Chain A
Amino acid sequence: MKTLIVEDDFTSRVLLQEILCHYGPCHIAVNGKEAVEAVKVAIEAGEPYDLICLDIMMPGMDGHEALQKIREIEERHGFFSKRGAKIVMVTALHNIKNISLAYKNLCDAYIIKPLDKNKLLDELKKLRLIA
């Protein structure tokens, strides 16, 4: 499983990385703009991400905008819905407005901080990313 962690907070980033690095390569982006670039590069290299963990509140381009842009890039490259990356929002924003917007923009799961390791791994199992 190839993962991209998109998170501006250092603590949250290290926590995700420590958990996910056991399942394959883990790349880091610290804002939405970097994330979109990383996704583009990975797709063009023929090695797209399997999983993208996406924070919402970040400087510059936020997680909602990054999610939309990533799905657009995938669509342009002919990856439709189920063939694209599994995108899991990992955020402290837990109001309906943010959750429904993320699902509308085609995220696959929504996890609320503080991060619970088991909940995260359960979601990855449901998404058939890990056994």
Chain B
Amino acid sequence: MSSSVFNKEAILARLEGDEELVKIVVEVFISDFPNQFQSLKDALKEGRLQDAVRYAHSIKGASSNVSAERLQALALKMEESLKNGDLTFTLQNLPLLEKEFQEFVKAVTSPV
């Protein structure tokens, strides 16, 4: 199964077809992502590995809640590599994480 940038069917199914609730959660996610992203970057820069794991985990959880599947998959890989003490993967893929987020914003704001 290939993952999508924004799986609207999946989030609607999970929230009982409540479009209004989907809209609220997506907006909150979009407004909060830059903070989470910055926290992850800061933790990496300052070598706080445990915090970095937690932020990657948070980004994974938040993206899963809005069915941002590609973002979720990347955040999961970051969380797992960080848990193994590997900072390189996450550092190298920070620009991709930001790009996936921009793709998500585009996908939710473009008319269906």
Q: Interface of A with B (CB < 8 Å)?
A: 8-12, 14-15, 18-19, 57-59, 91-92, 113-118
Contacts and interface: CB of A to CB of B under 8 A. Distances in A.
B64 A114 contact: yes
Interface in B49-97: 51, 54, 57-58, 60-62, 64-67
Interface of B: 11, 14-16, 18, 21, 24-25, 28-29, 32, 35-36, 51, 54, 57-58, 60-62, 64-67
Contact of A15 (B16, B25, B35): B25
A118 B28 CA distance: 21
Contacts of B24: 14, 18
Given A59-B51, A92-B64, A11 B28 contact: yes
B83 to A, nearest CB: 11
What secondary structure prevails in chain B residues at the interface with A? helix
B64 A117 contact: no
Contacts of A91: 61
A122 B3 CA distance: 28
Contacts of A10: 28, 32, 35, 62
Contact of A114 (B16, B21, B36, B67): B67
- B11, B35, B65, B66: residue with the most chain A Cβ atoms closer than 10 Å: B65
Contacts of B51: 59
